[in-house]
């Protein structure tokens, strides 16, 4: 009887305890168990790609794996670190510290490692070490358009260039993996497994043409080397749409010239320079638009002139010359242009430099794009109308300057330059970005007059090296001394900006060389690169020749190709 | 006696049924686990194939890059010509239009060397 009583009490105690655990404390113990077993792993979304206008990949993501660890199940963090560190290439001491953080359930061991490393880590068979898929950013064309594309950080977030500008678009929506794992970190079969699929980011289709971009970079590399310059930049624009077909940046130096890397400036858009004589088109166009002068208006142009205590002179010595406005532009006369600027007046001059886009960003939205440096009208000095009409005392980007010539080429109307043509979302739906509406800056008549004069610059003036066989070219050379101006040695910026075919403009382009040493004039160092780039771009765009070529055009020797010729196979 | 026999038969039958149900339950779970395993393997394979496709895509893009094409062409013995000549059909035009002045000096004399079967 007593035994039965004891058994009954014991059994009752067991039942009561069961009731406490499984009924009263069910939720609490269930949560404890889940907390032990359930792992939440973030699934990174694949970043959208960046493509040129023909669909060639410029930036894409490829699968990679990230090695992670659960410190709570690692009983020998030092031993683990000793085994893993040489395999994954991380510092052993810092890895051991991370693996010893038992208050955490997830620590990174190494991010985005290659397949060989993954295999070697797996072969170690270390419990608590696992892998999570991530993606690694790849730039298949390497340095092509690198400063334009920019780069991403370890977490695939855009840090520069287009990767930064369009980071939100390119970044998808991350997902999540919820799994149950045993104490050794292995997934429990038939356990709770939930996947929230990540949403891939959108792709971006650029207006860049990979072939034209490559040719622009190669031409610029050769010319920067040939001229022993500090660097250079080139831009090619489609006149009708404002599409940027090439945006090249090159870095010079004692080791030779090379295309700029993603960590260097996108010079065409972010770097300002004093444009020099390429700016004279604005002075002349403004005066013609205001009806103050015409292409055949003649002026008596002396060799020098003074304004505000400063003396301005023409480059080539000459006696007082009876020059037309066309002559002044063709010969790039500083004094003649200052005289035209004097007729235009500071108010009108200020109006036209701003109407052509100086003093404000182009609307491209590229990170780091400056508006340029233009004196406010109320800060003009007595000498301002001596320097600014000839392209000194103001600073612009290469993109702003080429857009001036694209405006003239576009019958006087300016478009906002465009770098992104379309986006493609995760479902493959393409959304085209609309081209901007043109905005009239000067009348079509003035634009046509300017085109004729600029053709003379190439045909007979300082821009003869910019000629492209088979196509009429219009453009202007520029050579500007960089500050400080007072003492030698002086440094210069040499440039050529123009468009072709002049009779039916399709493309505008600019080449700017920074601190050329072998020669300093835009007509000598920038114009030949412009010709090469423009010819290639016109051919690439299937623009038919419009000028008959009689006989072979003598080729000006500008140096040897940097490609080593090899004997063709027999 | 008969009642006891009936009860025993009932208990035996019940035990058999319960045992059979338990065995079926186990078999069901085994099938479920096997199916889950297979599903996991298929998922993993799908992910592998997708990864393989994306890696191949990067390889194709790298192979199509201009620098790579130039490098490969040079490996095959191709050379950049000293002068690039374009054919134009515009009336009044000489048949060939030389490359712009920025390139190397004209080597029209080398044309027969390049295309001897076309003559001078």
Question: What phi and psi, each to the nearest 5 degrees, are found at residue B41?
Answer: -65, -40
- For residue A475, what pLDDT band results from cuts at 50, 70 and 90? very high
Domain boundaries, chain A: 40-70+139-199, 210-420+433-540
pLDDT at position B94: 58
pLDDT at position A212: 97
Query: pLDDT tens across A24-46, in order?
Result: 888 888 888 777 778 787 777 88
For residue A535, give how far its alpha carbon lies from the nearest alpha carbon of chain B (Å). 7
Question: What phi and psi, each to the nearest 5 degrees, are found at residue A374?
Answer: -130, 130
**Chain A residue with minimal CA distance to B35?**
A190
Domain boundaries, chain B: 2-69, 81-118
Interface contact A129, partner B, CB < 8 A = no
Query: pLDDT tens across A415-448, in order?
Result: 999 999 999 998 889 999 988 999 999 999 999 9
Provide mean pLDDT across the span B44-69.
90
Percentage of chain B lying above the pLDDT 70 cut? 71
**Most A CBs within 10 Å, among B29, B33, B81, B102, to test the A interface:** B102
pLDDT at position A479: 93
Percentage of chain A lying above the pLDDT 90 cut? 69
Alpha helices (runs of H) in A20-160, residue ranges in sequence order = 26-37, 77-88, 92-99, 115-124, 146-149
- For residue A565, what pLDDT band results from cuts at 50, 70 and 90? very low
Query: pLDDT tens across A260-305, in order?
Result: 988 888 999 999 999 999 999 999 999 999 999 999 999 999 999 9
What is the distance between the alpha carbons of residues A216 and A466, in angstroms, rounded to a whole number? 14
The verdict on a CB contact (< 8 Å) between A555 and B86 is: no
What is the distance between the alpha carbons of residues A147 and A149, in angstroms, rounded to a whole number? 6
Provide mean pLDDT across the span B40-59.
88
pLDDT at position A536: 94
Give A 59-98 residues with CB within 8 A of chain B. Answer: 60-63
The whole-chain average pLDDT of chain A stands at 90
Query: pLDDT tens across A153-197, in order?
Result: 988 899 999 999 999 999 988 888 888 877 766 667 667 778 888
- For residue B95, what pLDDT band results from cuts at 50, 70 and 90? low
Spell out which residues of chain A touch residue B32, defining contact as CB-CB under 8 Å.
190
Give B 49-108 residues with CB within 8 A of chain A. Answer: 50-51, 54-55, 57-58, 61-62, 64-67, 70, 74, 77-80, 82-83, 86, 88, 90-94, 96-106, 108
User: Any bridge partners for residue A440, and if so which?
Assistant: A413
Closest by Cα among A535, A525, A512, A514 to A252 = A514
pLDDT of A567 over the 90 cut: no
Inter-residue contact A413 to A438 (CB < 8 Å): yes
Pair type for strands B96-98 and A50-51: unpaired
Interface contact B44, partner A, CB < 8 A = no
Closest by Cα among A280, A340, A281, A331 to A305 = A340
pLDDT at position A561: 33
- For residue B96, what pLDDT band results from cuts at 50, 70 and 90? low
Of A186-190, A558-562, B51-55, B74-78, the least confident:
A558-562
pLDDT of B75 over the 80 cut: yes
Closest by Cα among A472, A469, A471 to A455 = A472
A340, A439, A441, A471 from A286: Cα distances, Å: 9, 16, 10, 27
pLDDT at position B40: 81
- For residue A392, what pLDDT band results from cuts at 50, 70 and 90? very high
What is the distance between the alpha carbons of residues A186 and A188, in angstroms, rounded to a whole number? 6
Query: Which CATH homologous superfamily contains domain A40-70+139-199?
Result: Penicillin-binding protein 2a (Domain 2) (3.90.1310.10)
A:B CB pairs within 8 Å: 151
pLDDT at position B100: 55
Closest by Cα among A495, A364, A499 to A433 = A364
- Which CATH number is associated with domain A210-420+433-540? 3.40.710.10
Spell out which residues of chain B touch residue A559, defining contact as CB-CB under 8 Å.
104
Query: pLDDT tens across A309-356, in order?
Result: 999 999 888 889 999 999 999 999 999 999 999 999 999 999 999 999
pLDDT of A563 over the 50 cut: no
Paired tokens of A85: 């560190």
What is the distance between the alpha carbons of residues A498 and A509, in angstroms, rounded to a whole number? 6
Of A33-47, A224-238, A288-302, A556-570, the least confident:
A556-570
Inter-residue contact A109 to A134 (CB < 8 Å): no
Bigger pLDDT: B80 or A428? A428
pLDDT at position A559: 33
Query: ipTM beyond 0.95?
Result: no
What is the distance between the alpha carbons of residues A329 and A281, in angstroms, rounded to a whole number? 8
Provide mean pLDDT across the span B46-66.
90
- For residue B92, what pLDDT band results from cuts at 50, 70 and 90? low
Q: Is A88 left (phi over 0), alpha (psi -120 to 50) or beta?
A: alpha
A402, A445, A495, A518, B45 from A410: Cα distances, Å: 12, 11, 21, 35, 55
Question: What single-letter DSSP state applies at residue A266?
Answer: -
């Amino acid at each position: 009887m007593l035994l039965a009583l004891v058994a009954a009490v014991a059994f009752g105690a067991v039942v009561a305890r069961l009731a406490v655990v499984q009924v009263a404390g069910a939720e609490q113990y269930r949560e404890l168990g889940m907390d032990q077993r359930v792992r939440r792993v973030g699934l990174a979304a694949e970043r959208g790609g960046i493509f040129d206008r023909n669909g060639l990949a410029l930036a894409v993501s490829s699968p990679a794996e990230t090695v992670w660890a659960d410190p709570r199940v690692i009983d020998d963090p030092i031993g683990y670190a000793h085994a893993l560190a040489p395999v994954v290439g991380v510092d052993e001491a810092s890895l051991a510290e991370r693996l010893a953080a038992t208050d955490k359930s997830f620590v990174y061991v190494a991010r985005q490692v290659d397949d060989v490393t993954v295999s070697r880590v797996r072969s170690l068979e270390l419990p608590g070490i696992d892998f999570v898929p991530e993606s690694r950013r790849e730039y298949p064309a390497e340095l092509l358009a690198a400063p334009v594309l920019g780069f991403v950080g370890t977490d695939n977030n855009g840090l520069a260039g287009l990767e930064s500008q369009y980071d939100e678009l390119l970044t998808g929506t991350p997902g999540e993996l919820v799994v149950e794992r045993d104490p050794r970190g292995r997934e429990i079969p038939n356990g709770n497994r939930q996947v929230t699929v990540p949403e891939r980011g959108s792709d971006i289709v650029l207006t860049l043409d990979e072939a034209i971009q490559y040719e622009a970079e190669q031409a610029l590399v050769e010319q920067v080397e040939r001229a022993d310059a500090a660097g250079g930049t080139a831009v090619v624009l489609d006149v009708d749409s404002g599409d940027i077909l090439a945006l090249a940046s090159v870095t010079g130096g004692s080791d030779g010239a090379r295309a700029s890397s993603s960590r260097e400036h996108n010079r065409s858009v972010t770097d300002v320079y004093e444009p020099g004589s390429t700016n004279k088109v604005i002075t002349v166009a403004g005066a013609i638009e205001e009806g103050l002068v015409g292409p055949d208006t003649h002026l008596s142009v002396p060799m020098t002139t003074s304004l505000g205590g400063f003396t301005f002179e023409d480059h080539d010595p000459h006696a007082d010359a009876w020059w037309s406005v066309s002559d002044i532009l063709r010969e790039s006369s500083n004094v003649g242009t200052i005289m035209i600027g004097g007729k235009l007046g500071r108010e009108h001059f200020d109006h036209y430099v701003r109407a052509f886009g100086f003093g404000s960003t182009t609307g491209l939205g590229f990170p780091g794009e400056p508006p340029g440096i233009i004196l406010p009208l109320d800060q003009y000095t007595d000498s301002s109308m001596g320097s600014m009409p000839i392209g000194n005392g103001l600073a612009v980007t290469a993109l702003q300057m080429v857009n001036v010539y694209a405006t003239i080429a576009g019958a006087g109307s300016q478009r906002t330059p465009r770098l992104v043509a379309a986006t493609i979302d995760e479902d493959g739906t393409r959304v085209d970005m609309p081209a901007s509406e043109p905005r009239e800056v000067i009348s079509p008549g003035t634009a046509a007059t300017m085109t004729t004069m600029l053709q003379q610059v190439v045909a007979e003036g300082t821009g003869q090296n910019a000629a492209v066989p088979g196509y009429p070219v219009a453009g202007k050379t520029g050579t500007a001394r960089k500050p400080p101006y007072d003492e030698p040695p002086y440094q210069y910026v040499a440039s050529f900006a123009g468009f072709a075919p002049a009779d039916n403009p399709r493309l505008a382009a600019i080449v700017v060389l920074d601190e050329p040493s072998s020669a300093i004039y835009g007509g000598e160092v920038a114009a030949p690169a412009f010709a090469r780039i423009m010819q290639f771009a016109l051919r690439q765009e299937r623009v038919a020749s419009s000028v008959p070529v009689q006989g072979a055009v003598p080729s000006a020797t500008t140096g040897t190709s940097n490609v080593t010729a090899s004997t063709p196979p027999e | 006696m008969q009642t006891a026999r009936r009860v025993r038969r009932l208990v035996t039958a019940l035990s058999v049924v319960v045992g059979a149900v338990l065995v079926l339950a186990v078999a069901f779970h085994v099938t479920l686990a096997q199916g889950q395993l297979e599903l996991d393997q298929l998922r993993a394979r799908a992910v592998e194939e997708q990864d393989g496709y994306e890696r191949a895509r990067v390889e194709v893009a790298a192979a199509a890059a201009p620098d790579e094409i130039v490098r490969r062409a040079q490996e095959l013995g191709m050379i950049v010509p000293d002068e690039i000549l374009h054919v134009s059909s515009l009336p009044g035009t000489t048949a060939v239009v030389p490359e712009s002045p920025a390139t190397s000096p004209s080597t029209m004399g080398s044309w027969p060397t390049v295309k001897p079967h076309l003559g001078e």
